[in-house]
Amino acid sequence: MIQDFFRKDLSDFESYNAGKTDYKVRLNANESFDNLGEAVRREIGKVIENSIYNRYPDADALEVCELYSLYANVNKTNVMAGNGSDECIQIIAHTFLNTGEKVAMQSPDFSMYGLYTKVAGGIPIEFPLSDELELDVQGFISMANREKVKIVFLSNPNNPTGNIIKREDIISIIEGCKCIVVIDEAYFEFYGQSILDKIDTYDNLIVLRTCSKIGLAAIRIGFMITNNVLMLELKKVKPPYNVNAITQSITSVILKNPEIINNNVKNIIVERSYLWEKLSNIDGLRLYKAEANFILVEVPNAIKVKKRLIEESINVRSFSTGPLKNCLRITIGSRQENDSLLTNLI
Q: What is the pLDDT of residues 33-82, one digit of tens each?
A: 999 999 999 999 999 999 999 999 999 999 999 999 999 999 999 999 99
Q: Of 12, 135, 152, which is closest to residue 89 (Cα–Cα)?
A: 152
Q: What is the pLDDT of residues 241-256, one digit of tens each?
A: 999 999 999 999 999 9
Q: Of 189, 183, 147, 149, which is closest to residue 166 (Cα–Cα)?
A: 183
**HSE-up (13 A, CA, CB side) for residue 87:** 19
Amino acid 16: pLDDT: 67
Span 73-97, average pLDDT: 98
- pLDDT band at 18, cuts 50/70/90? low
Domain annotation for the chain: domains and CATH numbers? 17-32+259-345 (3.90.1150.10), 38-255 (3.40.640.10)
Amino acid 8: pLDDT: 81
Amino acid 10: pLDDT: 81
Give yes or no for a contact between 79 and 69, defined as CB atoms under 8 angstroms apart: yes
- pLDDT band at 19, cuts 50/70/90? low
CA gap 213, 186 in Å, rounded: 7
Predicted TM-score (pTM) of the model is: 0.95
Q: Provide, rounded to the nearest whole percent, the portion of the chain with pLDDT above 70.
A: 99
Q: What is the pLDDT of residues 259-271, one digit of tens each?
A: 999 999 999 999 9
